[in-house]
Structure 1
Amino acid sequence: FLFFFLFKLKKDFLACSPTVTSYRASIEVVSKSLRIFSGENVQLKCVIPDIYFSTWKYLWFKDSMQLPQTEETLRISHAHVKSSGKFSCQGKRETAIGDIQTRPSLPVEVSVDGGWVILQTPPHPVVVGETLNMVCRLRKKFPIHETILYKNGVEVMRQNGSSLDLQVENVDLEDEGMYSCRASWDMEMRTYSVISAATPVKVVGEFRYLPFMKSLRGRGRIGVNKIKLICHVQYNARAPAPPINFYFYKNDHLLGTATSENHKVVRRDSGWYSCRAKVPQLGLFRWSEARSFGEVTGE
């Protein structure tokens, strides 16, 4: 009877055990670009943020179809146009309570072009203030005499000479769009001019939205006559990200000094409260809307 009870207990435990970890896999682009010519190669690496360095098996997917590859790195060799698609990965490993899986990665799109000219853009979104670096690539090394860059079908840059590197400095949100390039060259007494397919460029700001204020009624360690002001903002910069400072105001008067924490405990007085999030190294800052906290209620 004891054996049967323990067997049933283990079976019930396995049935209710979680099969998905809190880890989310991500894809690292090993190649220089996700947009390539047919016949070229692409490498993608599946990264699992496991601090315990467990042994994982890797599941790869193209669109909704699982691929036979189970290695950490996915290699697409001698790619053809049909190799294009959205790729994602997921980790899987055996444990004492059965197989568990990570959350799937966000997909990355590989584009294989069968033409003569492609515009290679960064595989990740460009952050406001950065330089957008692009390359107008030719399948063969022709003597280029002119390169034109288009955004949403409108010419934005024209340069003479053999350089195929194109740069847009200090980008802002308005620089987001569909980009293409045209390369022109002379060969055998004739001029050739070919335009690439359009490729999207996404630009993200340091602050995805304006800060907003929230308050908590005094309780616990806060104290009865205190309120906790919280300044919520989504800071969007790639690591190593410059530090962000928070400033808190009451009736437009600064409450103390700047802090790296997004919260501050102050005396519970009625008034108009606001906060400012600032990245000193980038000269960026955003204000929240002022909120009235009179008879403060928990939110």
Structure 2
Amino acid sequence: MELSPLPLLLLLISNIVSQHTEEKPKARVSIKPAQHVFRGETVTLRCDVYSEGVTSWQYIWYKNSSTSVFSDLQELIFSSVTESDAGKYSCYGAERDISCISRLSDEVTLTVSVPRAVLSVSPQKWLTEGDSVTLICQVNGSSIGWTFSWFTETVSSDNSNQYKQLSDSSRGAGGHYTVSSADLKHTGVYVCSAERGKPAYNSTISNTQPLWVTGEFRLNTE
């Protein structure tokens, strides 16, 4: 994120703010879409100060409790957030003639991670024909806001992985893909992936989960 030059006035405010200990309005940091986001998303942090009679504020941001001024903008916009943008952010505001200086906001922690898909099986991987089984796909522990795709994985003759999307993968909505009556043809190795946002960005391909389906045992009474 490109930062604008800091006016000398704001540096002066930064130096004297600790001297103002009487009760003053407190700055507040809001963050959208969430405090935990994934690499590549757009994130906006905004500093607001609510005080009667003050309509024109200047803003000071700090990161990771540093005494160095991070920015003088009311909004910090990370158009494609990376792990280096993660940290603890706080801010305060000052009226332009320095007649009113707010208290420092509480710190807000921005966490940035790579979206990793994780696949699990319930209740078990070993099945008999007719059993029900559910493949559960999550991204960093959550299924909210993601669209899931489901695949079988095979290894080609050159040892590269090949993925074939399941034709009925719409049943995977909400992170669950359920086979209500397992058949021998369901034996195989499964993976999943997820995407979110516009333009869409993707999670990693999940870990593999094998399913084994055996024929139903029937006692021969003849």
Match of 1:235 among 133, 138, 142: 142
Distance 1:263 1:204 in 2: 31
Distance 2:75 2:137 in 1: 39
Distance 2:83 2:33 in 1: 15
What is aligned with 1:211? 118
Number of residue pairs aligned between Structure 1 and Structure 2: 166
SS of 1:196's equivalent in the other structure is coil
Distance 1:263 1:212 in 2: 13
Q: Does 1:198 align with 2:106?
A: yes
What is aligned with 1:44? none
5 Å matches for 1:1-299? Answer: 114-122=23-31, 125-126=34-35, 127-128=37-38, 129-140=41-52, 141=54, 143-144=56-57, 146-154=58-66, 155-159=69-73, 164-171=74-81, 175-187=85-97, 196-201=104-109, 203=111, 210-214=117-121, 216-222=125-131, 230-233=135-138, 234-237=141-144, 241-251=145-155, 252-257=161-166, 259-260=169-170, 261=172, 262-263=177-178, 267=185, 273-279=189-195, 281=197, 282-290=200-208
Q: CA deviation at 1:182?
A: 3.4
Distance 1:294 1:246 in 2: 17
Q: 1:125 to 1:186 in 2, by over 3 A?
A: closer
Q: 1:236 to 1:254 in 2, by over 3 A?
A: closer
TM-score, structure 2 as length reference: 0.53
Q: 1:268 to 1:197 in 2, by over 3 A?
A: closer
Task: Supply the RMSD in Å over aligned alpha carbons.
Answer: 4.1
Q: CA deviation at 1:211?
A: 0.9
Q: 1:132 to 1:186 in 2, by over 3 A?
A: closer
Gaps of 5+ in 2: 1-22, 156-160, 215-222
Higher relative contact order (CA 8 A, sep 6+): 2
TM-score, structure 1 as length reference: 0.42
1:148-171 per-residue CA deviation (whole Å, 9 max, x = no partner) reads 222212443233xxxx44444444
| Moved >6 Å (runs of 4+) | 292-296
Distance 1:280 1:202 in 2: 19
Which structure has the highest strand share of the two? 1
Gaps of 5+ in 1: 1-113
Greater mean alpha carbon deviation, residues 166-175 or residues 128-137: 166-175
Percent of residue pairs bearing the same amino acid type: 10
Q: 1:158 to 1:119 in 2, by over 3 A?
A: same
SS of 1:149's equivalent in the other structure is strand
Letter in 1 for 2:125: L
1:220-268 per-residue CA deviation (whole Å, 9 max, x = no partner) reads 425xxxx96724324343xxx3532222313322244461323566637
Distance 1:232 1:172 in 2: 24
